[in-house]
Amino acid sequence: MNGAHEIEALVRRVVEQVLAGSGERRPLAAANWKMNHTSIEAAAFLEALDPGDSSCDIWIAPPATLLPGMKAIIERRNLPVTLCAQDVHEKENGAHTGEISAAMLKDAGAEAVLVGHSERREQGEGAERLQAKAEQAAAHGLRILYCIGESEAEYSAGLTKQVLARQLEAVRNIPANLLDIAYEPVWAIGTGRAAGKEDAQEIHAFIRLEVQRHFPDQSGAVRIVYGGSVKPENASGYADGADIDGALVGGASLHAESFQSIIHAFQKKGGSGG
């Protein structure tokens, strides 16, 4: 364990809480590596990554096998990077072959976890299971980046807001200070067909109202980030959106240089001006 890193993480959390109380939100650039990268590639990524200033939180969600090795590099280089798991099992422990518990993820170095990514929903994870996963993660103090988004058919049928409101019900019981939301229209993920920045802002404003309804006193704590074909070329357009607090990035997060450009777009939003 590296004392300096632990203290820095503690300071970050205190700053987050103070900002949350004041209604200000730190931007968040989160990388979802999905089933990509070996330990050598992950180490090369971290060696190449220039995190820039500290005005934007940086999360990386690698495959679970990479968490301990990446944690060691992050501590050695004192990088301002939070490790996020891609999934968590809803049970504490037991006969669940191949699954990974919240306690194990924390032990391996994760401080946060994605819940409800559309690629998990496609594997049959429904509202009840996602609620149980989020509650289990929260019980272990993991932050949750809860992913919601409408399918192409729902989008075409004009059902987007209805679908999102329903999906948000699963995190009603999660403490607001452990929760962030990723709006990821399923038709935009990995397709190169990103949502227009005005459309994304409109949906984020809607999600913001829903979050305020769920957490009347604490909604300032919850960030709402956009995901779906975010690239260096379109990131600053999203950063301009008043209710877009960051990005969840798949393909463009696999290379340090392109992820860095996206971080930089949101650092400008976070007040570095540079």
Q: Residues interacting with ligand PEP, by CB under 6 A?
A: 32, 184, 189-190, 227-230, 248-252
Closest distance of CB 253 from ligand PEP, Å: 7
Active site residues per annotation: 117, 184
H/E stretch holding 246 reads strand 246-249
Distance CA 111, CA 143 (A): 6
- Residue closer to ligand PEP, measured from CB, 105 or 195: 195
Report the chain's terminal Cα–Cα distance, integer Å: 33
Query: Which residue has the closest beta carbon to ligand PEP?
Result: 250
- Residue closer to ligand PEP, measured from CB, 178 or 252: 252
Q: 130-145: b or e for each residue (b if 16 or more CB lie within 10 Å)?
A: bbbbbbbbbebebbbb
Asked if residue 33 belongs to a known ligand binding site, the reply is yes
H/E stretch holding 134 reads helix 127-139
Closest distance of CB 252 from ligand PEP, Å: 6
Closest distance of CB 229 from ligand PEP, Å: 4
Asked if residue 32 belongs to a known ligand binding site, the reply is yes
Distance CA 6, CA 43 (A): 21
Asked if residue 22 belongs to a known ligand binding site, the reply is no
- Residue closer to ligand PEP, measured from CB, 79 or 189: 189
Which of 223, 124, 239 shows the shortest CA–CA distance to 176? 223
Asked if residue 274 belongs to a known ligand binding site, the reply is no
Instruction: List binding-site positions for substrate.
Output: 32-34, 190, 229, 250-251
